[in-house]
Chain A
Amino acid sequence: MPDHSPARAPSPASAPHGRPPSPPVTVRSFGRSLAGRTTPVALTADVDRLDPVPGIARGSGCSYGDQAWCSGGRVVTAPDDVVVDGDHVEVGGGVVLRDLVARLWPLGWTLAVLPGSLAVTVGGAIAADVHGKNHPTAGSFGRLVARLDLVTPTGTHVLGPGDEAFHATTGGMGLTGVVRRARLALVAQPTAWADHETRPIRGASALREAMRSALGTHHHVAAWVDLAGPDVRGIVEATTVGVPAPNGTDAPVPGGPRIHVPPLPTAAITRATIRIGNAARFRRARATRVAVPVADALFPLEAVGGFPHLYGPDGFVQHQVVVPDGAEDLLDDLLGRYRDLPVVPALVVLKRLGPAGPGHLSFPRAGWTIAVDLPAGDRRLGRHLDAMDHDVAAVGGRVYLAKDATADPATVAAMHPRLDEWRSIADRLDPDHVVTSDMDRRLGLRRPARPAKPPGGGLPDTDQPSSEHRTTDGEHRDA
C-alpha cells in the first residue's frame, strides 16, 4: 500500500491502484467468543509500505482472541508462495504450515518447530513466536527465521537475528508490521513416522516427574490432563520423529481435518459430558509405545475441524500461562483453582518450556505451561482468571498473548518487563501507530493502557441481582 497524499486519508476500504475496494467482513476469534468487522486487503507485490490506515496482518485466524483484526480498520493478508532453497525455504507470510509441511516432508525436510495446529500461517507463527512440544530443545519459531521482510508504514525492512526490530517482531503479535516473506531454516526428517509413547499417570507431581523423565528419551513431550474428575490425572505423550518406517512405506503428510463440526444451537461441552468423556479417555489409556505417523502424534488439533462449535454460540476462551521453574507450588494451586471454576476446564494440556528466546514479548520461558479451554458463557470466570494472572505475574510468569481474550492491561504490562523497550522499537517502525489490532487496543500494548480494571471485575459468585422482588406498587423511589 503506497503513500497517499496526506490530504486524502484513505478509508479502510479504499485499496490502492484502483483495485475495487472490498466490503468489511465479520471475523471471529478461533474460540468464537469475540467478533469484529474489518476490511481485508491483500499485500500485493507492488506495495512496499503500509497506508496510514489502522490495520494488522491476518493469517488463518487461529488466535484465540482479538489478535488478528482491527475493528473499523484493515486486515492485511500476505502472499503464500513457497521456494525451497537448499536447507532453507523462502516463504510468503501467508503460507499455511500444513501446506508448507506437505511440500517439505516428501523431500525429507521439516521445520524444527511446529505448533499443535498446522492451520496457522508462517506470519502468524512468527508474530506469536509459537512453540512445539519440543520447546526445551528446539526453542520457539523465531529461532528458525534467518531473515524476514517486514512491511511497515516507514517502508519495507529486511531483518535478521540480532536486529532489534527482528526480535520485536518475533512474538510481537503483528504489531510491528506485516511479514511479507521469511527465510526459514530446515532440518532433515528421514521419515514421517514417529516413535510414540503414552503413559497414564495419577497426581500432579507424578505427571511432572514423568514428563521430565520422558524428555530424557524423546524430543516432544506433552500431557493431556483431566481436571474434571475426582483427582488430577493425565496421560503423558512422548514422541520422537523421523524413525524408520515400520512397513517400509512413508507415512502420509497431514491432510487437514476429516471431520467437521457444524455450528450447534447449544453447547455440547458441559461439565457432565467432559467428566464422562475424560473418564473414558483415561480408563482406555494404556502404557504403550508404538510407531505412528508424525501427523497423528503431534497435531491433535488437526483431527477435528470446527471443534470450537462444540462450545455452542458463546464459544470458548483459552487460558494459557507459563509458571517458571521453582514455582511448582503455584502450578499445583492453579490446577486446583481451574477445578473450582464456575465452568468446566474442558481441555487441559501441560507442557515443559525451555529457556526464553530473544523476542521482547515472546511467551516461552523455562518452566511449565498449562493451556485450558474454558466455555465463555459465564462472565464470573473473569474474576478468577484475573486473579490467576495476577499470581502468575507475581512469580515472573506470563499469559500467552496469542491465546488471550481476557487479560487485564496492567497485569500484562507487569508480565512483560521489556514492554517499554519493545514499544520504542515499534514506534520507530510505525511512528503514527497505524499498525494496531483490537487486542492492542484492549491491552494497550503499543500505547500504555488506560486505567486498570478494578480488582474483581466480573460477576460476584452469588449474584444476578434481581429486582423482580422489588415492590412496584406505586411507591415512588429514587434509584
Chain B
Amino acid sequence: MRDGLGRLQRVVLLGGTSDIGRAIVDRVVATRGVAEVVLAGRDRDGLERGAAELTATGVAVSVVALDARDPGEVVAAAVDECLQAPTDVVVHAIGMLPHDDRDGVAPGLAAAVFDVNTTGSGVMLLAAARRLQDQGHGTLVALSSVAAVRARPDNLVYGAAKAGYDALARGLADQVRGSGARVLVVRPGFVHSSMTATHDVAPLARQPEDVAAAVDRALDRPDRPGATVVWVPAAMAAVALGIRLLPGRALAAAARRIADDPDADHHQGGASGNDAAADLGADPGARP
C-alpha cells in the first residue's frame, strides 16, 4: 500500500527486461522505498539478471514467466499471478519495433508486431486493470508511444499497433476511474534503448530515465480525465498535435527528409526486422 508520503510497497513490471520499464522501477525503488518487485517477461536469463541487481539494493524480487504471444487465457493468468498481493504500481513495457522502411515490413513480422504490441499487450492491460479495479487502488502505467497518435509511413505497422494499444489504455483509464485505481498512458517520443538501438534517432530523443522521471511525477498527480496521458518530453504534446494535423503527403515528405538528412543521427545499422522480432519484450519506446 502507498503510504502517507507517497512511498510504495509492491511494484510489478510486465516486460521485466525493458530498459524503460527498468528505469521506472529503479526510480521508484530509489525514491519511494519499494519493498517488493515482480519482474515478468520472456527472457528468463535477463529477468534473473535484473532480479539479482534489484535484490542487491535490498528489494525482494520474484520472477514470473510472461509471453505476449501465448494464448489470451495464458497471458491473463500470468498477469493475475503477478498481482496476487495488493500492488501499488503495474508498469506495462512490452513491445517490438520493426524496421519499417520504404520496402515495408514482411508479413510475418507485421503479424508479430500486432500480436505483441496490440493483442498480447492488450490482454495484459485488460487483466491488470481488472485486478487493480477489484483491489480499489493502484496505478497501471501503460507505455504507449507518440507513434500511436498517428501512424506515419516510416513506422506504419508499429504506429498502427500502438494506436490500438493506446485506445485500449485510454478506455481503461475511463473505465476504472472512480474505483480508486487509475491508468496512466505514457507517450514518449524517441527513447534510447535496446529496442531503438538500430533505429534512426529522431528529434527530441530522450533517455529511459527521463521517461521514469515523468512517470514518477505523474504518480503524485491527482487522477482527472485530462491527466491520463503523460508526454515525454512534455513538448511532445504540441509536436504530436502538429503531426496529427499534417496532410498525409506532407507527413511522408517530412519523414523522408528526416531519414535522408545527412546531419541527422545515424543508423547503427545491423539489426534486421527479424532480430527485432527475436527481441520481444524489449522497450516500447518509439520514434515520434
- Residue numbers of A with Cβ under 8 A of B are 24, 29, 31, 33-34, 36-38, 64-66, 70-73, 315, 317, 376, 378-379, 381-383, 386, 405-406, 438-439, 441-442, 450-455, 457-460, 463, 465-467, 470, 472-479
Contacts and interface: CB of A to CB of B under 8 A. Distances in A.
A452 B35 contact: yes
Interface string B204-221: 011111100100000000
B180 A37 contact: yes
B21 to A, nearest CB: 10
Contacts, number: 150
Nearest to B32: A379
Contacts of A406: 3-5, 7
B255 interface: no
A52 B181 CA distance: 22
Interface string B20-54: 10110001001111111000000000000000000
Contact of A37 (B6, B35, B137, B207): B137
Question: Which 10 interchain pairs have the tightest Cβ spacing?
Answer: A457-B33, A72-B136, A405-B4, A454-B58, A474-B265, A37-B180, A71-B136, A442-B1, A451-B60, A479-B19
Nearest to B268: A476
Contacts of A376: 4-6
A382 B7 contact: yes
A66 B209 CA distance: 31
B134 interface: yes
Grouping DSSP codes into helix (H, G, I), strand (E, B) and loop, the A interface class, with mixed when no group exceeds half, is: loop
B1 A438 contact: yes
A355 to B, nearest CB: 30
A138 to B, nearest CB: 30
Contact of B206 (A31, A457, A466, A472): A472
Contacts of B210: 467
Chain B interface SS verdict (over half): loop
B179 interface: yes
B33 A458 contact: yes
A22 to B, nearest CB: 13
Interface of B: 1-7, 9-10, 19-20, 22-23, 27, 30-36, 57-60, 85-86, 133-137, 178-180, 192-194, 197, 201, 205-210, 213, 265-266, 268
B57 A454 contact: yes
B19 A379 contact: no
Contacts of B201: 474, 476
Contact of B179 (A37, A458, A479): A37
B2 to A, nearest CB: 7
B85 A450 contact: yes
Given A376-B4, A478-B193, A467 B32 contact: no
Contact of A450 (B2, B4, B9, B31): B9
A177 to B, nearest CB: 21
B197 A476 contact: yes
Contact of A72 (B22, B135, B205, B207): B135
Contacts of A378: 5
B6 A450 contact: no
Contacts of B2: 34
B178 A37 contact: yes
16 contacts: A24-B136, A24-B178, A33-B4, A36-B137, A38-B180, A65-B3, A379-B6, A382-B33, A405-B4, A406-B4, A450-B9, A473-B265, A474-B265, A476-B268, A477-B192, A478-B194
B149 to A, nearest CB: 21
Given A37-B178, A442-B1, A72 B137 contact: yes
A439 B34 CA distance: 16
Given A37-B136, A457-B32, A72 B1 contact: no
Given A317-B5, A454-B33, A472 B205 contact: yes
